[in-house]
Amino acid sequence: MVNLEWFRTFKSIYETGSLTGAAEALFVSQPGVSLHLRSLESHVGFKLFDRSSRKMVPTERGKILYNYIQEPISKLQDAEQHFHKSTEKDVPTISIGMCFETFQFTLEPYLPDLPFNVIIKFGDYPQMLSDLDKGILDLIITPQKGDYKGLVYKPFFKERIVLVAGAETDTQDFERSLKENDLAETENWLKRQTWYGTAGDMEHLRRFWHMNFNKRPDFKPNFIVPNMSSILRCINGRAGLAVIPDFLSRNERGSGGIKILWEGSNVIENTLYFGTRSKTIYAEEIRQIQDIFEKEML
């Protein structure tokens, strides 16, 4: 059965010429607009738009359909406004991209109190940058900057990539080798330990190892877990090593369950940026999210 919202979405795409414009006009996410359009095209059995990099161009059948539904949909919208008076404003929805651990550490506890809707998307940073440029995301938290001309980056935090150890890890021999500047023994000791890594990203470990031993690690972690939050739970108050951003273990270090074992001879720091489009209708909502991150991470 056809959904009348599909027709309203189709009308907005037709009139604005883009999925992003339709999403902004309807106060919904761009993925939602895309879903409505795909559903309508599937229902009617033919393409309604030819998609280009800059504009949604209606097909001949799309033009015919618009002429059929434009006036009825406009009348329904007028009826909705006339008969459904409300003192409440439409609640906007913003889409945010970041890594899972950053979300848990900062934004997750605040979600129930936000005065707007939020869609969180996890993924790799190049895809987040592309989605931000396309209007699928409204804000990203990223250590990487792309070359998209319409995006703006605001630095707000420096994360340090460090080697952490659970509180039960016996580190006396390691500390002795560091004090004696015995790099070979330091490396050998590390390779004898129990290591934790994540299924999706071993880049931190590879980069840390290369910066300090000038080679790639020739071992694999003993345990591969879903994310860094899992690593922290596994080694908190126990034995085990991992390479992670320092801010993620702040709470566990405060309670004594985890300690920073080594920052490395060559310290690795990443600048985290707020990535946004230069033009957005969600400036106030984005500012509130940015305030939360600055409060929690600084």
26: pLDDT strictly greater than 60: yes
Condensed to tens digits (0 to 9), the pLDDT of residues 178-203 reads 999 999 999 999 999 999 998 766 88
82: pLDDT strictly greater than 90: no
CA proximity to 49, closest of 63, 36, 35, 29: 63
More confident residue, 69 or 139: 139
256: pLDDT strictly greater than 50: yes
Please say whether the structural domain 4-83 has been given the CATH code 1.10.10.10.
Answer: yes
User: What's the mean per-residue pLDDT of the chain?
Assistant: 90
Q: Do the Cβ atoms of 204 and 244 come closer than 8 Å?
A: yes
Determine the average pLDDT of the residues in 81-96. 69
| pLDDT bucket at 111, cuts 50 / 70 / 90 | very high
Condensed to tens digits (0 to 9), the pLDDT of residues 62-80 reads 899 989 888 888 888 777 6
At 87 the pLDDT is 43
User: For the structural domain made of 93-154+271-297, what CATH number should be given?
Assistant: 3.40.190.10
84: pLDDT strictly greater than 70: no
Phi, psi of 226 (to 5 degrees): -60, -35
How many angstroms separate the CA atoms of 172 and 285, rounded? 49
205: pLDDT strictly greater than 90: yes
Determine the average pLDDT of the residues in 88-108. 87
248: pLDDT strictly greater than 90: yes
Fold match flag (93-154+271-297 vs 159-269) = yes
Highest CATH level, class, for 159-269: alpha beta
At 199 the pLDDT is 73
Determine the average pLDDT of the residues in 19-43. 87
% of the chain at pLDDT higher than 90: 64
Which sequence spans correspond to the domains of the chain? 4-83, 93-154+271-297, 159-269
290: pLDDT strictly greater than 60: yes
User: Which of 23-27, 159-163, 164-168 is predicted least confidently?
Assistant: 23-27
% of the chain at pLDDT higher than 70: 95
pTM above 0.85, yes or no: no
